[in-house]
Chain A
Amino acid sequence: MVDMLVLDNVNKEYKGTVVVNDLSLNIKKGEVFALLGANGAGKTTTIKMILGLTKASSGKIEIDNAAKIGYSPETPYFPEYLTAMEVMNYYAGVEGDKSKKDKSYLQSLLDMTGLSDTKIKVKNYSKGMIQRLALAQALISDPDILILDEPTAGLDALGRKHNLELLKRLKEQGKTIIINSHILHDIEAVCDRGVIMKKGKVIDTWTKDESSESLEDKFVRLVGEE
């Protein structure tokens, strides 16, 4: 399989503190890859470096030339006075691709994420609905790589199930997905493999069905150790 994203000895320092330490990853096309670790492990900084939201202090990040990236942040903010369709229309406009501003296309993305009623203003949205809207806007460019920061956080059981099914469908479409999540059951349900990070370093890798030990047990054993 083709490498979609390669991180080669990537480091990130903030005022002398190493946040990401010598990180190397190869993420293949069509993979669903998990970034795991406790708070402060360097997962979000890694995502930010991949997205170009912050620069790596050293090392190389290579993204497949033609790859388009969609991003759903952990704590998304959308103007409260807009409806879901207006938010989608706004980001479609920011993309600069007129074909993506097509109302039926945007509606299909909202339907896909379970936000069919587009007349409700964002101010009346639950946290889960905002999370779904974040996912919908990430899909506007029909991205090859989808980066999702805590995509099921704040969702109720039904919402989580819906989003996980959606992620499986997106994987079937051949999208490469990178997920940062604390909900290990969700990771096990959709991801192919991942890395467990601690204090900016990869301390172990995880592959689906690799052993009888559950991801949760492995995570607690590795991250819980001091």
Chain B
Amino acid sequence: MEITLNVIREKIRKKMLYVTTALGIIVVAVFSTDMGSLTVGGRSINDYHVLLPILINVLNFLNGAIALAISCSTIPLEYERRTSHLIWSRGISQGRYHMSLTVGNLVTSWISGIILYMTLGVFAVIKGYADILGKIAVAAVFMMLYAAIICMLTSALSIRIPTLFTGTIMVIILVFGAFRNALNLLTATLTGIGAVVIKRAIRLIPNLAGISTQAGNLVQEKPLNAHVIIMALLMIWIAGLLVMIVKREEA
């Protein structure tokens, strides 16, 4: 618990978190004003009910990037600074130590995500859509799933892999995961052995787009796809397990 609280305290002090959160607030503000309204078929869309799924996608992606950025270096930095010596020497197991650090990152990314969603709520009220506040609150649960996948995977990779490689791998996973629907469409027309390999590789990428889609479905009162949610929970469980079992040879 102490380790987790210390991570949260340290991350909240980082300017990067504020800059990214401010960026998210700007995104919501721009989309919520006429200046940023989307145009489909020459018609301007500024109905929040229609805009909301798009905003949820954008905010989840942005919060995923925040989760990645704050998780990437936490564990390696503990070993670089040798803070790990003072933890290991107190008999704290690696699994518990790594998980405590990961949970600290996770809670921080959730705090940042909640701030983004609260901004969304504030603008919804300003624009006269107070009726969707409850839906925004429930959609935030999907943001938590999204951030948890990124946070857990990043932390698990960062235990043994250098920060730069972890960051690169996770950026690829984040981008491909967020655009998985588009990737599926693109590869649908492909044929041959190469296409089979690509399609299978895409299946291994967490379906982040699917999670945001479910949040969008929820606010638009469309049915949810349980398979996507179960797979997301499974992914979090596997990544969490990796955080617990992947070990360093020395502190």
Contacts and interface: CB of A to CB of B under 8 A. Distances in A.
B90 A95 contact: yes
Interface stretch (A31-39, A71-79, A104-112, A191-199): A71-79
Contacts of B86: 71, 73, 76, 91, 94, 137
Interface in A83-138: 90-91, 93-95, 137
Given A71-B85, A71-B89, A75-B82, A54 B3 contact: no
Interface string B99-122: 000000000000000000000000
A93 B1 contact: yes
Contacts of A93: 1-2
Interface residues of A, number: 21
A53 interface: yes
Interface residues of B, number: 22
Given A53-B88, A69-B89, A137-B86, A81 B251 contact: no
A166 B126 CA distance: 64
A88 to B, nearest CB: 11
Contacts of A16: none
Contacts of A77: 81-83
Given A77-B83, A81-B13, A55 B89 contact: no
Nearest to B250: A54
A17 to B, nearest CB: 15
A224 interface: no
A77 B77 CA distance: 11
Nearest to A69: B89
B114 to A, nearest CB: 23
A51 interface: yes
B47 interface: no
Given A53-B85, A71-B85, A90-B6, A48 B90 contact: no
Contacts, number: 54
B2 A94 contact: yes
Interface string B7-31: 0011001000000000000000000
B131 interface: no
Contact of A53 (B3, B81, B89): B89
Given A73-B82, A77-B81, A77-B82, A51 B89 contact: yes
Interface in B227-251: 249-251
Contacts of A79: 6, 9-10
A176 B89 CA distance: 16
Given A79-B10, A94-B90, A95-B90, A51 B250 contact: no
Contacts of B81: 77
Contacts of A69: 89
B87 interface: yes
Nearest to A79: B10
B251 A54 contact: yes
Contacts of A48: 85, 250-251
A139 B39 CA distance: 66
B224 interface: no
B88 A73 contact: no
Interface in B67-95: 81-92
Contacts of A52: 88-89, 91
Interface in A39-55: 48, 51-55
B85 A73 contact: yes
Nearest to A75: B82
B1 A53 contact: no
5 contacts: A53-B89, A71-B89, A79-B10, A90-B6, A94-B86
Given A52-B89, A55-B250, A94-B87, 11 more contacts: A48-B250, A48-B251, A51-B85, A51-B89, A54-B251, A71-B89, A73-B82, A73-B86, A76-B86, A79-B6, A90-B6
The 6 residue pairs across chains A and B that have the minimum distance between CB atoms: A93-B2, A54-B250, A53-B251, A77-B81, A71-B89, A51-B89
